[in-house]
């Protein structure tokens, strides 16, 4: 009998990809998100959303990135989700997390993310953790106007936290999450990384160049652990493509070509400037 999979945070960057990959593979998926009328903290709509579900994949993020508030939110969310999952008869909860957070506890949100893992193990049935390196769109989400937050700079350029990274495609992460959910006896912790080490400042400059945007980008200091390579995977972590350059070809240069040749399209090629938060915790998910 086919198993029903609930994706929590189904409208975020990763959750949306999980839903797309699952349906392409013929799997039955139920989307859980506030925009779908379900709130895992208040419990609104949650029991109904989990009715008949056997497997849960957690792709959500908290409504705040401040460490203490996010930690409290994670505890409340995982407690509520876990209780509802047990009532529904869920047998496995696959939780998305970030590679290397144990060694990056000098960054506040990563302390909260580690608490997320711990709360899931405490409250949710059959918890398995899947840690991924940052996604290919990570640097685009981190770009901020030069001078934002510290008063330095003239506001004419952009800044990005500079650190080594090994970004991964969300499709590869989605595929691993689904394999893990469906596996008979998965390991309690799995990891995945992209195939190539990058530098976030170099990535940001290549991203804007791919968009035809000549705005200058400078590097901003990262936390000590990130600067030392904390976001990089260990040698034991499996890798999967495509590379960042291949992703740029597919998602940015291809999109730019389409915009150039389609006079009816009104996409804003400078969208990064208006939508970013500049926070290193940006790992695609839905505030559910």
Question: Locate tokens 């596996």: which residue?
Answer: 183
Which tens digit of pLDDT belongs to each residue from 14-47? 999 999 999 999 999 999 999 999 999 999 999 9
The predicted pLDDT at position 100 comes to 98
The predicted pLDDT at position 286 comes to 53
- Rounded CA gap, 159 and 280, in Å? 13
Report yes or no: 165 and 198 within 8 Å, Cβ to Cβ. Answer: yes
The predicted pLDDT at position 37 comes to 96
- Rounded CA gap, 176 and 203, in Å? 25
The predicted pLDDT at position 153 comes to 55
- The two tokens of residue 1 are 């009998």
Q: How far is CA 224 from the centre of its chain?
A: 22
**Residue 136 half-sphere exposure toward CB, CA atoms < 13 A:** 24
Model confidence, pTM: 0.88
Mean pLDDT in the chain? 89
Under-70 pLDDT residues of the chain: 1, 148-155, 255-288
- The two tokens of residue 264 are 């009816």
């Amino acid at each position: 009998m086919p198993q029903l999979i609930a994706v929590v945070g189904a409208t975020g960057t990763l959750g949306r990809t999980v839903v797309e990959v699952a349906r392409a593979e013929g799997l039955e998926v139920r989307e859980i998100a506030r925009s779908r009328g379900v709130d895992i903290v208040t419990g609104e709509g949650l029991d109904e959303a989990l009715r008949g579900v056997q497997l849960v994949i957690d792709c959500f993020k908290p409504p705040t990135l401040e460490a203490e508030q996010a930690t409290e939110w994670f505890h409340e969310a995982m407690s509520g989700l876990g209780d509802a999952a047990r009532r529904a008869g869920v047998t496995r909860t696959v939780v998305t997390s970030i590679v290397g957070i144990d060694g990056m506890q000098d960054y506040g949100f990563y302390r909260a993310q580690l608490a997320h893992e711990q709360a899931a193990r405490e409250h949710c049935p059959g918890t398995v953790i899947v840690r991924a390196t940052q996604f290919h769109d990570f640097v685009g989400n981190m770009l901020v106007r030069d001078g934002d937050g510290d008063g330095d700079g003239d506001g004419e350029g952009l800044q990005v936290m500079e650190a080594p990274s090994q970004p991964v495609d969300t499709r590869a992460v989605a595929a691993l999450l689904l394999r893990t959910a469906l596996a008979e006896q998965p390991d309690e912790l799995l990891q995945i990384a992209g195939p190539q080490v990058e530098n976030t400042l170099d990535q940001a400059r290549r991203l804007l160049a791919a968009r035809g945007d000549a705005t200058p980008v400078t590097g901003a200091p990262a936390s000590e652990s990130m600067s030392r390579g904390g976001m990089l995977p260990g040698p034991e972590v499996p890798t999967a493509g495509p590379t960042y350059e291949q992703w740029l070809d597919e998602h940015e240069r291809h999109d730019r070509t389409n915009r150039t040749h389609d006079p009816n399209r009104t996409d804003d090629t400078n969208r990064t400037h208006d939508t970013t938060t500049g926070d290193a915790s940006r790992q695609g998910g839905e505030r559910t």
